Amino acid sequence: MVNGRVTRRFVLKAGVAAAASSPWWLARSSHAQRAKKLVFWHVPNFTPLADELQKQQVYEFAKQAGLKDTDVEYAVVANEQFQAKLAAAIEAGNPPDVTRLYESNVQYYAANGHLLDMTDLVDKMRREPKGIFESAMTSILYKGRAMGVPLAVNPWPVHARLDLLEQAHLEYPKTWDEFIETSKKIQSPPRLFAFGMCLGLVEDTTDNVMNLLWCYGGKMVEADNKTVVMNSPENLAGVKVIEAMFKTHKIIPPGAISWDNSGNNKAYQSKQAAFVMNPSSIYAYLDGNDKDLQKVTGLYPVPAGPKGTVNQIDTWAYGAFKKNPNPELAKGLLDYLMQPANYDKIIQSTGGRWVPVYKRLFESPFWTGKPAFKHFIKMAETGVPVSYAGSPTPAAGEVLNTQVIPKMIQRVLVENWEPAKALDECHKKIAEIYTRTEKG
């Protein structure tokens, strides 16, 4: 500038402008993040009523414990974002007090010393008349202690279109061979495919695929949680069956390759698939949205393979984090929520999505009045987690979360690899994960 007059007025004006739009409030100190005495992260339970009830119960407990409403933080976190949020919160040393954890997450956070020991409460639950489904214990036990509170045990039945079976004068197939034959008879592609097997790069695929492999005697890892057996001849047999279903018999919709976890739900709900392996979220959805379809929906155990029928369950548990300045409050809250009377209210309001962990509750008219659930009790008792024959350890969780098995099945179905070759690659990856996680 020829005349570089930097007037004081200019400086003043510039300073004011800069200050007005800059974060002067950084200086404030009154905003304390741990003003809350009880922080609960709620992942939506599927029905608005259930969500509302849960919220009510949390606040009820808070009042009982002498807290004000403003002492409680009740945050609703969508399922898709949960991992990201929790990771950030834990890394910053600011996790919630109580939240829901899925399967292997309990053991993962327990192994890193983040969770409170809940053995006392769980023992109390087991002492209830008829106790709880012991299958729920596999995911919450870490070094013999219960590090989470089992909330629900969810079998993965086959949702079956009874009307189509009736039309074709067929029974629900008892073996996988029958299943293939029945499928060919009742389907009418491309409108209706028989088997809505999830084959996308999502968790449901691992669940569907492994469930079938178990019926052929296969499994991912031995009960010692160390010996990986993915490339066993039994698994190979099972994978070949899936390959045949997709390529030869064509009973699976080709679009299943790009499904997300809601793909098989949508397929069944919109009458594009006749058989779908999924927790009863579909059934519960139909309860509120398509009662006609619900009437003709049966919930069955998985067909048997040469080695019998094996059914899957998955478990959800509440976890309480150690970094809680008020652990008694967290424990008290969980105790309150798991009291059978309170618990049952929420379970019933999910319309069949959540299966109660207390055996006794399963005998109430709510369940016995639903003939579709008649197989459920057996499935809940004898079901195994996706990590069979191991338990839901952090390694199993990583296998699930990184889509190792879906990638394997896509190698076979999309890239036309030999099943043996794909299984070998899969085996190596899983073994690497288990070895690495063992080292810690």
Partner 1 sequence: MALQANSTQTYRGNVLVEAPALPRRPRASLGLTREARLAYAILAPTLLVIVFLVAYPFVAAIYLSLQSKMVGAPGRFVGLANYAELFRDEVFLRTAWNSVVYTVVAVLLKFVIGLAMALVLDQERPFNNLFRTLLFVPWAVPVVIVALNWRWIYDDLSGFLNNFLITFHLTSNIISWLSDPHLAMGCVVAVVVWAGTPFYAMTFLAGLQAIAKELYEAAEIDGASIVQQFFYITVPRLKTIFITTVMLSTIWTATNLTFVLILTRGGPANRTEIFPHLAYEIALGARRLGMGAAVSLVFFPVLVIFITLLTRRMLREREE
Partner 2 sequence: MGGSVARTRRILKWTGNILLVVMLVWTLVPFYWMLATSLKKDKEIYGFEATLIPRQPTLDAYRRIFVQTPFLKYLRNSLLIAVGTTVASLVLGSLGAYALARLKFPGRGIIARGLIFTYLVPQSLLFIPLFAVMSFLTLIDTREGLFLAYLGITLPFCTWLLLGYFRSVPLELEEAALVDGCSRLATLVRIILPMSLPALAVVAFFSFTQAWNEFIYANVLVNSVDVRTITTGLTLFIVEDVFFWGPMMAASVMATIPPVLVYLAFQRWVVKGLTLGAVKG
**Residues in CB range of 190: below 8 A, 6 or more apart:** 253
The residue within the footprint of partner 2, chosen from 68, 143, 169, 191 (CB under 8 A), is 191
Query: Which of 371, 385, 280, 380 lies closest to 268, judged by CA?
Result: 280
Sole window of 36-44, 132-140, 299-307, 357-365 interacting with partner 2 (rule: CB under 8 A): 36-44
37/15 Cα distance (integer angstroms): 41
Q: Are strands 141-142 and 149-155 parallel, antiparallel or unpaired?
A: unpaired
Beta-strand (E) ranges in 128-167? Answer: 141-142, 145-146, 149-155, 158-161
Nearby residues of 60 by Cβ (< 8 Å), 6 or more positions away: 336
Q: Binding of partner 1 at residue 83 (CB under 8 A)?
A: yes
- Nearest-angstrom CA–CA distance, 153 and 237: 29
Binding mask 7-46 for partner 1 (x = CB under 8 A): ---xx--xx--x--xxx-----------------------
- Degrees to nearest 5, angle at CA 421 with 417 and 422: 70
Minimum distance from CB of 1 to partner 1 (Å)?
Answer: 6
**Residue from 147, 361, 410, 426 that binds partner 1 (CB under 8 A)?**
410
Tokens of 428: 């190596």
Q: How far is the CB of 328 from partner 2 (least distance, A)?
A: 23
Does position 278 interact with partner 2 (CB under 8 A)? The reply is yes
What does 289 interact with, of partner 1, partner 2, none (CB < 5 to 8 A by kind)? partner 2
Contact pick of 100, 159, 411, 427 for partner 1 (by CB under 8 A): 411
Stretch 305-344: interaction string toward partner 1, x if CB under 8 A: ----------------------------------------
Q: Is 188 exposed, middle or buried (0-12, 13-18, 19+ CB in 10 A)?
A: exposed
How far apart are alpha carbons 113 and 325 in whole angstroms?
16
**Distance in angstroms (rounded) separating the CA atoms of residues 340 and 361:** 8
Looking at 77-217, list the stretches that DSSP marks H as alpha helix, in order from N- to C-terminal side: 79-91, 104-111, 119-126, 137-140, 162-167, 176-186, 203-215
Q: Is 54 in the site for partner 2 (CB under 8 A)?
A: no
219/429 with CB nearer partner 1: 429
Tokens 């509120």 appear where?
A: 288
Q: Which of 64, 84, 145, 167 binds partner 2 (CB under 8 A)?
A: 84
Neighbours of 105 (CB within 10 A): 24
Q: What is the C-alpha separation between 343 and 334, in angstroms, rounded?
A: 10
Minimum Å distance from CB 257 to partner 1? 4
Q: Which does 31 bind (CB under 5 to 8 A by kind): partner 1, partner 2, none?
A: partner 2
Q: How far is the CB of 179 from partner 1 (least distance, A)?
A: 23
Closest-CA residue to 318 (of 277, 346, 359): 346
Q: Taking CB under 8 A as the rule, does residue 93 contact partner 2?
A: yes
Give min distance, CB of 6 to partner 1, in A: 5
Q: Identify the residue whose tokens are 């809250």.
A: 333
Can residue 65 be called a binding residue for partner 2 (CB under 8 A)?
no
Residue 407, contacted partner among partner 1, partner 2, none, CB below 5-8 A by kind: partner 1
* Pick 150 or 196: Cβ nearer partner 2: 196
First to last CA, the chain: 64
One character per residue 92-111, x = contact with partner 1 (rule: CB under 8 A): ----------------xx--
Binding site for partner 1 (CB under 8 A): 1-2, 4, 6, 10-11, 14-15, 18, 21-23, 83-84, 87, 90-91, 108-109, 112, 114, 190-191, 200-202, 253-258, 260, 266, 270, 272, 398, 401-403, 406-407, 410-411, 414-415, 433
